[in-house]
Structure 1
Amino acid sequence: MKTTSPQLTAYEEVKPGFGWIDALVLAVLFGLLWSALHFGKGMLVHFDPSDQLEVDSSPAMIPYYAGRTLLRMWIAFAFSLFFAIGTGYLAAKSRRARALILPALDILQSVPVLGFLSATVAGFMALFPGSLMGVECAAIFAIFTGQVWNMAFGFYHSMVTIPTDMQEAATTYRLTAWQRFRTVELPASAHSLIWNSMMSFGGGWFFVAQSEAISVMNKDLKLPGLGSYMAQAIDQGDHTAALWAVIAMLALILVSDQLVWRPLLAWADKFKIELTESSSPPTSWVYDLLRGSYVFTWLDEKCWQPLGDWLARHRPGTSAAPTPARITRERWTKRVLTGLICGLLIFEALRGLVAAIDALHGAMSWSLFGHIVWLGFLTMLRVLAMTVIATLIWTPVGVWIGSKPHIARFAQPLAQIGASFPVNMTFPLVVGWFVAANVSMNWGSILLIAMGTQWYILFNVIAGAMAIPNDLKEAARMYGLSRWNLWKTLILPAIFPFWVTGACTAAGGAWNASIVAELASWGDVSLKADGLGAYISAVTKSGDTPLIIASIGVMSMFVVLMNKFVWRRLYAFAERRFRLD
């Protein structure tokens, strides 16, 4: 009888290769590169400040204008992302830096976009004489100022609320600062950073008309773009052109949601701090498509990993432990550099203060200053009313959306449209309704302010609800908590840190939005509220430098006081009581 021994079959690992998905990804990447070069070359054309830039109101020009605007938006967002991560990280890691950074962010987020434009247009134009790049940089910087503050506050708060056990684990494994940031801090902050980025990108759309149609120092500068197209349609009362601009903007928002934000949310879901996986995680067809691509794996294996290994081998100080003398020398070097930078910033601040005092000397009286303060108080009441009303309305809605991923798939694009939609595009309806219903602009402006800034609260509450660990939700269901007890013991404590960030940035953005909301016009119809926003808009357009300085200074004073006595204390309370430890 013949027996046969079992045969062992060897299975060779089949390595993935390039396929049609990779060809599609490469084609899209090359298409994006070509588009950036095509629209970017328009930034380098010759420009004479005495020339008047014309905006073609033909619908055929909308695709080109939309491309120019979208390029400015993404350039500003790239700078905003790096700035937010850098300043947020520094503020979270250093108590001394935090004492300077947070008050500075409080002041800067209150400075209106028109204030930045009036101070930077001339400087950027001097950097690029005879080129449109100067005005382009001023517009990009203005969009940057409409995006960055919310992202910086959100990333800072995510950093300071990382669970203690994760930080202790990183210390136990002796991770370097870069390893800790890459493997612990950035992943833990990814969810909040993406949601705040979505909101900030929408904030850039909100001020795109003011950024591209610049009216400062008695000069009207209109860059080719969707924002200037909107502004011209509003000035002329052209309903058809305004409708085409709205359709183009909605298309860009929906495309950005499908191609950028939804894939990022699906990718960031793996970074949630939870013990059990959610039964309905967010999905994205673009993310699923990219996961099947080999080109990114090839780039990681052939480029990024070798580069990281080379940097690790050649990093100074890895071969031997630093000596005490070297530590002391490095510490003094850092102190000297920090002192020089701080000294330079203080010198520039003092020089600006002296210039402001010189401009105000002889042009400002105590009665006029008191009038500006009174206008600031009226605007502050509107900001507080907007914050309370938006909190009461959007907190339960945000929790409902964030707790149900299948609802978020449909609600997320709608929320982005609402957050991105410029308030001045609603003026044909709002101004007409205010006039027909005899609504005072002093009350109606609260609605216009809320339409532009309430979304900060909604987006942050959604992010907080989505970040609640699934195991805590299951524990709440097991204990059979009633609706009120569920909100009191789980939902409100979990979303409170996110709400603080949203309410703080919404209040800061409301001061900025008051410039648009307190002075509404459509064609020949104009409505004006008594407030600091309308005052700043008027003096900026007339080019009255002393009044611009005084009004922006008063607005900054109100915002700093609110942040010192309200928001900073709420931040500290959230960090102390509601960490996910």
Structure 2
Amino acid sequence: MTLHRSALGVLGLAVVAAVVEAAPRLGVVDPDYLPPFTAIAARLGRVLGGADFWAALGDTLRGWALGLSIAMAAGIALGVLIGSVPVLRAVTASTIEFLRPIPSVALIPLVVLIYGSRMQSALVLVVYASFWQVLVQVLYGVADVDPVVRDTARSYRFSRWGTVRTVVWPTALPYVVTGFRLAAAVALILEITAELIIGVPGLGKSIGVAQSSGAVAETYALVIVVGVLGVLVNLAARAVERRALRWHVSVREQA
């Protein structure tokens, strides 16, 4: 079944490549706006051979990983703390529901005003967007703890840390991993967006420079790279999920 699905996926990509190759050559679209796929692939090969591309890729991955790490640490710590203290949960509920829907891109003028086009601008956007993905999932996970199990731990006089480690964390872990998977994708989107709009060094900035200079084939080539990077991030997040939750019934059923 997995092999069949992979073959269909490859077939779908081949069809898309064939359409992109044929459309400009048959005059369906203007080659100045959509070059043939072979031209894009040739340009992609030249881009991959340049040192500037790998430096931009490194900047993108560095910003993505740093922002995601900060968001995970803050989201887990605050989620467990707020979720474990009913008073804190009640006090912060309205604030969380107010701040969470605010689009991160709405903060772009503010971060540009404060940090300009430096890495910190992208970092703020990435952390802000990813943090809510993690925090909300952790809050759900803590709330899902069986009250009977929690009361049993209390009756055996477990310490606060012992209760978190042996009762709260195992229940919340599937939610934490889901938050990580969501945050990983959101972090990459915001990193590329900040690079593209603000001019923070990275693949997004390279796409903007190529587009503004009229290098259409290179623009498409870099977009393909970003798409592949997104797929790899999703696959890596899925792999982490399967490994972290190999004991969980959902992963065992998939296996």
1:479 aligns with 2:150: no
Cα separation, partners in 2 of 1:563 and 1:416, compared to 1, 3 Å = same
Residue 158 of structure 2 is aligned to residue 505 of structure 1: no
SS in structure 2 opposite 1:577?
coil
C-alpha displacement of 1:364: 4.3
Question: What are the superposed Cα offsets for residues 239-296 of structure 1, whole Å, 9 maximum, x if unpaired?
Answer: xxxxxxxxxxxxxxxxxxxxxxxxxxxxxxxxxxxxxxxxxxxxxxxxxxxxxxxxxx
- Spell out the pairing of 1:403-482 with structure 2 (5 A cutoff): 403-405=84-86, 407-435=88-116, 441-482=118-159
Q: Say whether 1:530 aligns with 2:194.
A: no
Which residue in the other structure is 1:569 paired with? Answer: 239
Q: Is the 8 A contact 1:380 1:558 kept in 2?
A: no
Where 1:420 maps in the other structure, the secondary structure is coil
Q: Does the CA contact (< 8 Å) of 1:369 and 1:550 recur in 2? A: no
Letter in 2 for 1:468: V
CA–CA distance in structure 1, aligned partners of residues 101 and 241 of structure 2: 27
Residue of structure 1 aligned with 2:166, choices 486, 489, 493: 489
Larger radius of gyration: 1
> 8 Å contact 1:376–1:555 — kept in the other structure?
no
In the other structure, the counterpart of 2:228 is: 557
TM-aligned CA distance change 1:578 to 1:351, over 3 Å: closer
What is residue 353 of structure 1 aligned with on the other side? 17
d(CA) in 1 for partners of 2:182, 2:95: 21
1:524 is matched with none
Describe the superposition over 1:57-116 as per-residue Cα deviations: whole angstroms up to 9, x where unpaired: xxxxxxxxxxxxxxxxxxxxxxxxxxxxxxxxxxxxxxx36995xx9xxxxxxxxxxxxx
Structure 1 contact 454–506 (Cα < 8 Å) conserved: yes
- Report if the CA contact (8 A) 1:419-1:453 is conserved: no
- Change over 3 Å in CA distance of 1:458–1:550 after alignment to 2: same
Q: Does 1:392 align with 2:73?
A: yes
Cα distance in 2 for residues equivalent to 1:409 and 1:362: 58
- 1:528 deviation in Å? 1.8
- Mapping 1:108-127, distance limit 5 Å: none
Provide structure 1 residue ranges, at least 5 long, that are not aligned to the other structure.
1-95, 104-341, 521-526
8 Å CA contact retained: 2:111, 2:124: no
Deviations 1:393-421 (A, max 9, x none): 12121123333455434433422333321
More helix by share: 2
- Give the direction of change, closer, same or farther, for the CA distance of 1:408–1:97 in structure 2 (3 Å limit): farther
Of all paired residues, the percent bearing the same amino acid is 24
Cα distance change on mapping 1:489 and 1:361 into 2, 3 Å: closer
Unpaired runs of 5+ residues, structure 2, are: 22-36, 251-255
How many corresponding residue pairs? 233
What is the deviation of 1:385?
0.8
Displacement after TM superposition at 1:543 (Å) = 7.5
Equivalent residue letter for 2:89? A
- Shift of the alpha carbon at 1:505? 1.5
1:441 Cα shift?
A: 1.0
Q: How does 1:222-301 map to 2 (within 5 A)?
A: none
Report the AA paired with residue 139 of structure 2.
I
**TM-aligned CA distance change 1:411 to 1:546, over 3 Å:** farther
DSSP-derived class of the 2:245 partner: helix
Q: Indicate if the aligned counterparts of 1:536 and 1:548 stay in contact, CA closer than 8 A.
A: yes
Q: Which residue of 2 aligns with 1:401?
A: 82
Greater relative contact order structure (CA < 8 Å, 6+ sep): 2
The offset of 1:578, in angstroms, is 4.3
Structure 1 residues 517 and 420: alpha-carbon distance in aligned structure 2, compared to 1, 3 A threshold: farther
Partner of 2:64: 383
> For residue 30 of structure 2, what is the aligned residue in structure 1?
none
Deviation of 1:459 (Å): 1.2
CA-CA distance at 1:347 after TM superposition: 4.0
Hey, what does 1:64 align to over in structure 2?
none
Question: Partner residue of 1:547?
Answer: 218
CA distances 1:298-355 after superposition (whole Å, capped 9, x unpaired): xxxxxxxxxxxxxxxxxxxxxxxxxxxxxxxxxxxxxxxxxxxx75x65442121343
Listed one character per residue, the Cα deviations across residues 167-204 of structure 1 (whole Å, up to 9, x for unaligned) are: xxxxxxxxxxxxxxxxxxxxxxxxxxxxxxxxxxxxxx
**Displacement of 1:482 after TM fit?**
1.4
TM-score (norm 2): 0.75
How far apart are the structure 2 equivalents of 1:563 and 1:426? 26
Which amino acid is the alignment partner of residue 170 of structure 2? P
Specify which of 185, 190, 194 is matched with residue 517 of structure 1. Answer: 194
RMSD: 3.2
